[in-house]
Each structure stands twice: as structure tokens, then as C-alpha cells.
């Protein structure tokens, strides 16, 4: 500390420039701006000529500590006034007293000691961060408590709300001294369901369906899912297992399957039956419809549908998950209750409808629109209403109405519209027959989406294009169908067959195999089906959908489809 004559200048003559805190010696440029009248009471430490360098350095150290503590603290800072600047201004030499102030301060030394993972010692109590009254409401425990990584168990010091919603389970508290940084974006996403593994060559859906959310009442696995571990169409599955129990030669037709066990009534949003009583439903029709429509076929897992990866993902995300999961908060948008699947004949629309029922753990009621229209409008309307009511009586239920367009003659044609089932259909879709009830999903399918009038189209909230199977999917469908006939093709033959069946739907591929068997005189002939039989069948069975048809589906999808 050096005293130079310039220090003898009166304070009020010092020009206002800056305060050089690196030195305890004021420069002549230093000027103290003080309110009039307050000046004589104010003495800066360096204004005392008897201050020692050691004292000055101690002072600086303390100030630095104090303010670094203020700047470090992650919560709202008190105003500087709260830190006892009065004492600072009083210029008490050496300042041996604790910093006075209106509020008790958080001891700087224990600033991080309240955090889990640090040795709190005596500072881990109320003086530490965890015990801070400011933080008590903000830094909670659920994330860190009992973490699976064996992290420190000081979690209760955190209050609920601190990242409680976004840290993935298992996110470990860091043992460092600072609050953990926000988790990486990947952790903010819900974990993908099993089966979405990026490595799978196919879509690789989990064979057993998806686990129900706890408490929503949906079963963890739909009935019959046990055998699905063998995979069927799952990626990387050996070819011989493609003949699944559901489709294997030992099971000739879906009709022969024992009735599916009635679905338990789940408590989830999809399953809650509406309070509204069923009105004006003919009990006879209800009985008839239920017995005729209830599909008791084997469950259909995602892996049973060859190809269609993007569509399956979209159906699952847009439909299955929202229906299975309870609403996130009161007033959440209601999950969709109607979906339209459109595409060429035999593309797998009905198969996907059945799959949806399996995934939802729902009863499946199937209705062919053409058969409804046949007995006349009045009878058809009665049956249609009964079908919706039957679905509503068995929540959760999927009501699959195929060939929807058969119900809907062009609207411009007044006479036809009057005799059609359009009006009853719209009424039912609007909830008049229970379609709007919780626990009922209506799946409409059509190969003529352009025939749907606007009103009907709009009633189907989701509209998905079910395209023809690609080469890989055709290969799988063929292999399974041929395996049922005891036919195993070489890789080259199969590749040639896949090539030769471009534009075939899944249904047409099945017909091809049947035709090959019929042409070869099987099953009377005691030899396995050969490639030659299939080649011969190819001359008789061809794809029905023309390139023009396919273009029109794509166009309709662009205009009205949901895209996927
Ligand atoms: N992607 C697929 N994977 C496995 N099988 C399929 C697939 N697509 C169609 N099939 C089979 O083809 C046959 C016809 O399928 P489905 O009845 O679902 O077609 P669709 O689109 O409803 O036809 P339609 O328009 O005539 O009603 C069924 O046996 C079905 O199992
Ligand atoms: Mg169909």
C-alpha cells in the first residue's frame, strides 16, 4: 500500500472514471458519487491511510466471496441491499461482524452441501441448498429417490416438480456438486415400445402386443398372444415359422377357431361404456347381429401383417396408443373413434382391422356392408343400428364395416340416396347408435374411397391408405401360403415369383397359390406343389388393380388421407 500526495486531494475533486479494485490504492481518477449530505458519513476502506495491505486483501477476498456466492446461486437473487451493504458503506475496518441483512443468508460454504452426493456435514441442513426455503418447493424428490442406479439417496431433499415429468426412469443423480443439467433430448421422448428396434429388417412389432398401462384395465397381452413369440412376419424370422398357428395348415379356416374369450371390461378411456342407455334397439336384431357378427378368429398381431411398416406404426401411434392410454389431463382431446382404411381389394384392410381389435384387446364385430344393403333399406337400417348397439354392449369393441361404399349410393341420386343406408349410417356414426360411446372403435374399409360422400368421409376421422404389398411382403405372404401347401421354393424360384407377382394384393397371392394347387390337381395329387404349378397359375390369376386405380388411391390419399 502506497500513499502518494495525490491521495491528499479532497474526494470531491476526484474525477469519476472507474474504481480499480485490483489495487487498494485509488487513482486520482476515482471519484465517489454520493448523495449530498451523505458524503461525510461514508468512508471507503481505502480512504483510511492506516489500512494495511493484508487487511485490504482480506476485504477484497471477502467481497469477492460474497458476490461470487450471489452470482453462483441458481435461484432468484436477493437485491444487493439484502446483503448488508450498509455495513459495507459504513466502512468498518476489517469488518469482523457477519454480514447483517434483513434476511438470513444462505451460508456460502454450504451452498452445494445440501445436494445429494456431496458430503453435507453440518451444512446439509437448512443452510444447504436442499434445505433452502426458496428451493423447497422447487426441487423435489421423485426423480432421484430410490434411483435404480444406486445413486445417493438424499433425494427427499428435492421437492416435487423438478423435472419430475421429463427425466426418464433410471436417470441417475449425479454425484457432482451442481444440479444436474437438463437431460438430453432423447430422454425427453417416451421410450419406444419393444419391437421398434431399429435393427430389425422388418417392422418387427412385438409379438405379444403392447403392455397395458397400469390401471387402465387393458390386458397386458391379448388372448392367444403366447404363441406369437414364433414371429410370423417379424423380421429375421426363419421361413419355416411363417406358417403361424393362426394360419398353419392344421387350422383350415378362421371359423373353426374356438370363440375368443370375452374381453375383460377395462377401465381405460376406450373401455368405459357410455352412461347413455340404449334406445330403440330391437332386442331380436341385437341378438341376431351379435351372434352373426362376432368374429371369433385367432388374434392378429402386427407381425401377422406382412410389410406395411409405416402404416402399422401410424395406426399404432394415432389410434392404439391414444385409445389404450388414459387421457393425460382433464379436457384432453378425445382419441379418434373412427378410422377408414382404403385401398385395393385384398390389400389387407380387414386383416388390419382385426389386428387393431387384437391390439386393443377388444371384441371384434364384423359387418359386410353389401350384406346389409341386400335385404332392403328398412331391414338394413335395423341391422345396422343393432350392429352399433351390439358393439356398444361389449366394450371394448371394434366394429369392422367392410365395403363401406356399398352402403352409399351417389348422393346426387335422390332416389338411390333415399333407399340407401346412408342416413342410418351417419346417425350411428354420430353416436346415435352408440358409435360415439367410449369403448367402441368403428373401422370402415373400402376399395372405392372416391365413392364416399363428404359427410361419410368426414365422419371417419382417420383415413389411411392400405397399399399393395411390396416385394419383401409378397415374398413373406407367398412363403406362408406355400408352406401351408407343403411347397418350399428355392431362393431363386421365390425371387422369380415375387418378381412375377408385382401388383398383386395379399388376397390375390392367396388365390394364386390356391389356383396352383387346383391346377395341379391337389390335394388329390400326392406331390408337393412346384414352381411350375405356380407359373401355370400365374397365367390365370393376375392383379386386379390397374396402375390407374393405384394412382387414384394415391391422389385420394393426398387429398383426404392421413398420410403415413
Ligand atoms: N399384408 C398382408 N399380410 C398377410 N396377409 C395379407 C396381407 N394383405 C392381405 N393378406 C391376406 O389376404 C387376404 C385378403 O385380405 P383382406 O380381406 O384383409 O383384404 P381387404 O383389403 O379387406 O380386401 P377387400 O377390399 O376385398 O375387403 C386375407 O387372407 C389376408 O390375410
Ligand atoms: Mg376386406
pLDDT tens digits, one per residue of 430-481: 876 654 567 899 999 999 999 999 999 999 999 999 999 999 999 999 999 9
Residue 363 forms beta bridges with which residues? 397
- Provide the sign of the torsion angle of the four alpha carbons 456, 458, 461, 464, taken in this order: positive
Nearest CA to ligand 1 atom 18: 348
Sheet holding 397-402, edge to edge: 363-368, 397-402, 440-446, 338-342, 462-465
ipTM comes to 0.99
**CA 94-99-101 angle, 5° bins:** 145
Q: In angstroms, what is the span from residue 346 Cα to ligand 1's centroid?
A: 4
Which residues form the pocket of ligand 1, taking CB atoms under 6 Å from any ligand atom? 305-308, 345-351, 402, 445, 447, 469, 473, 477, 506-507, 510
Contact, 106 vs 132, CB < 8 A?
Answer: yes
Ligand 1 centroid distance, CA of 305 (Å)? 9
Q: Which three cell numbers stand for residue 315?
A: 395406426
The pLDDT tens digits for 105-133 are 434 433 333 334 333 333 333 333 333 33
Residue 402 CA, closest ligand 1 atom number: 27
Query: Which ligand lies nearest the alpha carbon of 405?
Result: 1
Question: Going by CA atoms, what residue is nearest to atom 23 of ligand 1?
Answer: 346
Q: How far is the CA of 540 from the centre of ligand 2 (A)?
A: 22
Specify whether the CB–CB gap between 223 and 362 falls below 8 A: no
Count of residues making up the chain = 564
Specify the pLDDT at position 505: 97
Residue owning the nearest CA to atom 10 of ligand 1: 506
| CA-to-CA separations, 305 to 100, 265, 301, 382, 474, in angstroms, rounded | 75, 27, 7, 34, 11
Give burial (CB, 10 Å; 0-12/13-18/19+) of 249. exposed
**Which residues does the chain have with pLDDT short of 70?**
1-53, 55-56, 59-282, 409-419, 432-437, 522-526
State residue 119 phi and psi, 5-degree precision. Answer: -75, 110
Report the nearest atom of ligand 1 relative to the CA of 345: 25
Q: What is the pLDDT of residue 244?
A: 31
Give the H/E segment covering residue 436: none
Rounded to the nearest angstrom, the gap between the alpha carbon of residue 373 and the centroid of all alpha carbons in its chain is 39
- Residue 304 near residue 355, CB atoms below 8 Å: yes
Pocket test for ligand 1, best of 235, 244, 348 (most atoms within 8 A of CB): 348
Query: What pTM value is reported for the model?
Result: 0.58
Read off the pLDDT of residues 153-176 as tens digits, 9 standing for 90 and up: 333 333 333 333 322 333 333 333
So what's the pLDDT on residue 463?
97
DSSP letter assigned to residue 357: H
Amino acid at each position: 500500500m502506497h500513499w502518494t500526495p495525490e491521495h491528499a486531494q479532497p474526494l470531491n475533486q476526484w474525477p469519476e472514471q472507474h474504481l480499480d479494485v485490483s489495487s487498494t490504492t485509488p487513482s486520482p481518477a476515482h471519484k465517489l458519487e454520493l448523495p449530498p449530505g451523505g458524503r461525510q458519513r461514508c468512508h471507503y476502506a481505502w480512504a483510511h491511510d492506516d489500512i494495511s495491505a493484508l487487511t485490504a486483501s482480506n476485504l477484497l477476498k471477502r467481497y469477492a466471496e460474497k458476490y461470487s456466492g450471489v452470482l453462483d446461486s441458481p435461484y432468484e437473487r436477493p437485491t444487493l441491499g439484502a446483503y448488508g451493504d450498509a455495513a459495507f458503506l459504513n466502512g468498518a475496518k476489517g469488518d469482523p461482524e457477519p454480514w447483517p441483512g434483513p434476511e438470513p443468508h444462505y451460508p456460502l460454504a454450504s451452498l452445494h452441501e445440501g445436494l445429494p452426493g456431496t458430503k453435507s456435514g453440518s451444512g446439509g441442513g437448512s443452510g444447504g441448498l436442499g434445505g433452502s426455503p426458496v428451493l423447497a418447493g422447487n426441487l423435489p424428490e421423485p426423480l432421484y429417490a430410490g434411483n435404480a442406479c444406486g445413486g445417493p439417496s438424499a433425494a427427499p431433499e428435492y421437492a416435487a416438480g423438478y423435472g419430475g415429468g421429463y427425466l426418464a426412469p433410471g436417470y441417475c443423480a449425479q454425484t457432482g456438486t451442481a444440479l444436474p443439467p437438463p437431460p438430453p433430448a432423447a430422454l425427453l421422448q417416451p421410450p419406444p415400445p419393444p419391437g421398434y428396434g431399429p435393427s430389425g429388417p422388418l417392422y418387427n412389432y412385438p409379438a405379444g402386443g403392447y403392455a397395458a398401462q397400469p390401471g387402465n384395465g387393458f390386458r397386458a397381452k391379448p388372448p392367444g398372444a403366447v404363441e406369437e413369440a414364433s414371429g410370423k412376419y417379424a423380421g429375421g424370422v426363419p421361413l419355416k415359422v411363417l406358417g403361424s398357428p393362426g394360419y398353419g395348415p392344421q387350422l383350415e379356416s378362421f371359423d373353426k377357431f374356438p370363440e375368443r374369450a370375452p374381453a375383460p371390461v377395462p377401465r381405460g378411456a376406450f373401455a368405459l361404456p357410455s352412461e347413455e342407455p340404449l334406445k330403440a334397439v330391437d332386442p331380436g336384431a341385437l341378438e341376431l347381429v351379435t351372434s352373426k357378427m362376432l368374429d371369433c378368429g385367432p388374434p392378429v398381431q402386427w407381425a401377422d401383417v406382412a410389410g406395411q411398416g409405416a402404416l402399422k406404426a401410424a395406426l399404432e401411434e394415432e389410434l392404439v396408443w391414444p385409445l389404450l392410454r388414459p387421457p393425460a389431463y382433464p379436457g384432453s382431446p378425445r382419441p379418434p373413434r373412427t378410422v377408414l382404411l382404403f385401398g385395393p381389394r385384398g390389400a389387407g384392410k380387414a386383416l388390419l382391422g382385426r389386428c387393431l381389435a387384437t391390439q386393443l384387446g377388444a371384441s371384434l364385430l364384423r359387418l359386410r356392408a353389401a350384406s346389409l344393403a341386400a335385404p332392403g333399406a328398412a331391414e338394413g337400417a335395423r341391422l345396422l343400428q343393432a350392429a352399433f348397439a351390439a358393439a356398444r354392449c361389449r366394450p371394448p369393441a371394434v366394429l369392422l364395416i367392410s365395403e363401406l361404399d356399398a352402403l352409399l349410393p351417389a348422393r346426387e341420386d335422390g332416389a338411390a340416396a333415399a333407399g340407401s343406408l346412408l342416413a342410418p349410417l351417419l346417425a350411428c356414426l354420430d353416436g346415435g347408435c352408440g358409435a360415439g360411446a367410449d369403448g367402441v372403435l368403428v373401422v370402415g374399409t373400402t376399395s372405392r374411397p372416391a365413392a364416399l360422400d363428404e359427410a361419410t368421409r368426414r365422419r371417419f376421422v382417420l383415413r389411411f391408405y392400405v397399399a399393395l404389398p411390396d416385394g419383401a411382403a409378397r415374398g413373406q405372404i407367398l412363403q406362408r401360403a406355400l408352406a401351408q401347401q407343403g411347397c418350399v421354393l428355392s431362393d431363386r424360384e421365390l425371387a422369380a415369383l415375387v418378381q412375377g407377382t408385382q401388383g398383386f394384393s395379399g388376397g390375390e397371392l392367396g388365390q394364386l397359390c390356391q389356383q396352383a394347387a387346383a391346377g395341379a390337381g391337389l390335394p388329390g395329387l400326392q406331390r408337393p406343389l412346384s414352381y411350375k404349378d405356380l407359373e401355370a397359375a400365374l397365367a390365370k390369376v393376375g392383379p386386379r388393380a390397374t396402375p390407374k386405380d393405384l394412382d387414384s388411391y394415391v391422389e385420394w390419399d393426398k387429398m383426404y388421407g392421413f398420410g403415413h
